A and B are shown apart, each in its own frame.
Chain A
Amino acid sequence: MAYALEIQDVHKVFNRGTINEKVALNGVNLNLNPGDFVTIIGGNGAGKSTTLNAIAGVWPIDSGKIIIDGTDITNLPEHKRAKYLGRVFQDPMTGTAATMDIEENMAIALRRGEKRTLRWGVSREDRELFREKLQTLGLGLEDRMTSKVGLLSGGQRQAITLLMAALKQPKLLLLDEHTAALDPKTAAKVLEISDKIIAENQLTAMMVTHNMKDAIVHGNRLIMMHEGKVIYDVAGEEKKNLQVKDLLAKFEEVSGGEFANDRMMLA
């Protein structure tokens, strides 16, 4: 069976040749099986979000290959890769269009990867579907479908972005620290919704997080990145039995004990 995602020796240097040169990805290799839910941890600048952006095609990579479900997407522009990808961002403002209605946002997501025609943007059947999906969130948004998304809270917007990412079955779901900007209670709720959506749609997913506990509890596989490389990769039983202190030890080992000034959360 083909891998859901193959990342082969991907390199990316930002601001090459300037004083701000930064090696962001330094030979990333990673294969994901269909249905893998991988959590990604690592310190600042380890290359976690950069890896997700490389997959999404926010900018071209310097070398290497990215293959989704057997299709080489390395040279596709961002909007053409969108067909394969569902994305949720760290900033709740990024995933939705604030000046548009909830239903309009969802309708745009329902047509991800399709040509934008002169058919109505939101059809009656669309509305039925959206109402049904919004009900599953339990946030009462199904009664506010013509409200502007800009009026909603960050948590509500993230929940809608998650729904939108899965409306049209993606080959891969990319969650880029999507709970980092939320208060703990809302973050927990959004994580719960994420788990549910991934399980119900049997999605292959990657979730970047700074919270080690979340990284252990969620998903079936965990990778740690450091200086633009995958340095640790565990799955199955071994991952389930991980403790935060194991990860800390691992992290200390690679970074030479400099974790104290890092943003990583222990709880």
Chain B
Amino acid sequence: MSYFMSLNPLSLFRAMPGSIAQGMIWGVMALGVYITFRLLDFADLTVDGSIATGAAVSVMLIRAGVSPIATLPIAFLAGALAGMVTGLLNTALGIPGILASILTQISLYSINLNIMGKANQPVSVDNYPLVVSLRYVTDGSVSRLLFFLGMIVFLLALIAVMYWYFGTEQGHAIRATGCNGNMARAQGINTNFIKVLALMISNGLVGLCGALYGQFQGAADVNMGRGAIVIGLAAVIIGEVLFGKFASKRKLAFAFTLASVILGAVIYYMVYQFVLWLKMPSEDMKLFSAIVVAIFLAIPYLKEKRTLRKGASK
């Protein structure tokens, strides 16, 4: 009873805008994970490294005097470069996809330390005109409104660009490569090149997310990407489970699917905040995240198994 008494609904309410903002930023990363995991059918663990790379590049450039907004495309490119390494390890050197991405991820840990010079580099909103910051969310209703409006416009624009891109010939080539490599090659698609390209776009988005998140929390940290892939997967899967049916029936189904991935990330962080509020120790949160993802990944498999068994007994 005293446990329940100790829970303060107001503190949960106050923390929510920050969680939603965090979820929207991680939504960018989740879109990247969606590209590799769902469209390309490639389990890419590069992201744990490339998200920190994006943050490191952005924060260090800002500290060197570069305008915060100008660091965003550079962080995208840095992420894309990481994706290219994974892609080439896989396609040019024949290293299995997951292993290739782990190799890149591990090497990025050293590279990120080299970029930053040490494990953690702060960038304060007091000294720099950051694009996003937790301060904007907590600082009063006008700046909060502007922040969320800005984020929503940015995310909608990102969805629009991705919707367009995956409707082009090149986007079709990526989807065909992920769905059926034999078909793609038979139609003259260079599946190796396409894999590298998709990994670059995906990790570019992850790098961009890292830059935004580094500015948002006011620091780049070499460990900030640990378990990022799990959060990305959680967002993709939560989005699919909750909004999949809704999205697939619409016109512009693909745009709705992308939006549901971002919503998945937002919901993930809201639940995360809620569980923290219930006084779950924060060191257990990664375990909690992994269990959630494992359950949601298992559900479709177990469902199908059950229907198969039912079909057999008839």
Residues 142-183 of chain B: 1 if any A CB is under 8 Å from the residue's CB, otherwise 0? 000000000000000000000001011111110110011011
**CB-CB contacts below 8 Å: B267-300 with A:** none
How distant is B126 from chain A, measured CB to nearest CB, in Å? 42
Q: Which 4 A-B pairs have the closest CB atoms?
A: A82-B188, A121-B172, A97-B179, A116-B169
Listed A/B pairs (20) with beta-carbon separation below 8 Å: A77-B190, A79-B188, A79-B189, A79-B190, A80-B188, A82-B188, A85-B186, A95-B183, A97-B176, A99-B175, A100-B179, A105-B176, A109-B187, A111-B169, A114-B188, A119-B168, A120-B167, A120-B168, A121-B168, A121-B171
Chain A neighbourhood of B186, CB < 8 A: 56, 78, 82, 85, 87, 95
Chain B neighbourhood of A89, CB < 8 A: 182
Partner of B185, one of A79, A116, A164: A79
Q: Does A75 contact B (CB under 8 A)?
A: no
How distant is A170 from chain B, measured CB to nearest CB, in Å? 11
Does A117 lie within 8 Å of B168, measured CB to CB? yes
**CB-CB contacts below 8 Å: A101-116 with B:** 104-105, 107-109, 111-114, 116
Residues 184-216 of chain B: 1 if any A CB is under 8 Å from the residue's CB, otherwise 0? 111111110010000000000000000000000
Does A98 lie within 8 Å of B179, measured CB to CB? yes
Q: Does A19 contact B (CB under 8 A)?
A: no
How distant is B254 from chain A, measured CB to nearest CB, in Å? 11
- Distance in angstroms between the alpha carbons of A94 and B184 in the assembled complex: 10
- Distance in angstroms between the alpha carbons of A77 and B80 in the assembled complex: 26
Q: How many residues of A contact B (CB 8 A)?
A: 35
How distant is B9 from chain A, measured CB to nearest CB, in Å? 44
Partner of A100, one of B168, B176, B182, B188: B176
Q: Chain B: residues with CB nearer than 8 A to chain A?
A: 165, 167-173, 175-176, 179-180, 182-191, 194
Q: Does A51 contact B (CB under 8 A)?
A: no
| Chief secondary structure at chain B's binding surface | helix
Does A108 lie within 8 Å of B168, measured CB to CB? no
Q: Does A260 contact B (CB under 8 A)?
A: no
Does B170 lie within 8 Å of A96, measured CB to CB? no
Chain B neighbourhood of A95, CB < 8 A: 183, 186
Q: Does A118 contact B (CB under 8 A)?
A: yes
Chain B neighbourhood of A116, CB < 8 A: 168-170, 172-173, 189, 194
* Residue in chain A with minimal CB distance to B168: A118
Partner of A113, one of B168, B188, B194: B188
How distant is B168 from chain A, measured CB to nearest CB, in Å? 5
Q: Does A83 contact B (CB under 8 A)?
A: yes
How distant is B36 from chain A, measured CB to nearest CB, in Å? 15
How distant is B180 from chain A, measured CB to nearest CB, in Å? 5
How distant is B103 from chain A, measured CB to nearest CB, in Å? 25
Does B185 lie within 8 Å of A108, measured CB to CB? no
How distant is B77 from chain A, measured CB to nearest CB, in Å? 19
Partner of B187, one of A82, A98, A117: A82
- Distance in angstroms between the alpha carbons of A106 and B241 in the assembled complex: 30
Does B172 lie within 8 Å of A107, measured CB to CB? yes
Does B176 lie within 8 Å of A108, measured CB to CB? yes
- Distance in angstroms between the alpha carbons of A97 and B178 in the assembled complex: 9
How distant is B100 from chain A, measured CB to nearest CB, in Å? 20
How distant is B252 from chain A, measured CB to nearest CB, in Å? 12
* Residue in chain B with minimal CB distance to A174: B186
Besides A82-B185, A118-B169, 12 new A-B residue pairs in contact (Cβ under 8 A), listed by A number: A82-B187, A82-B189, A83-B188, A96-B183, A97-B175, A97-B180, A99-B175, A108-B172, A117-B169, A118-B168, A118-B170, A121-B172
Chain B neighbourhood of A83, CB < 8 A: 188
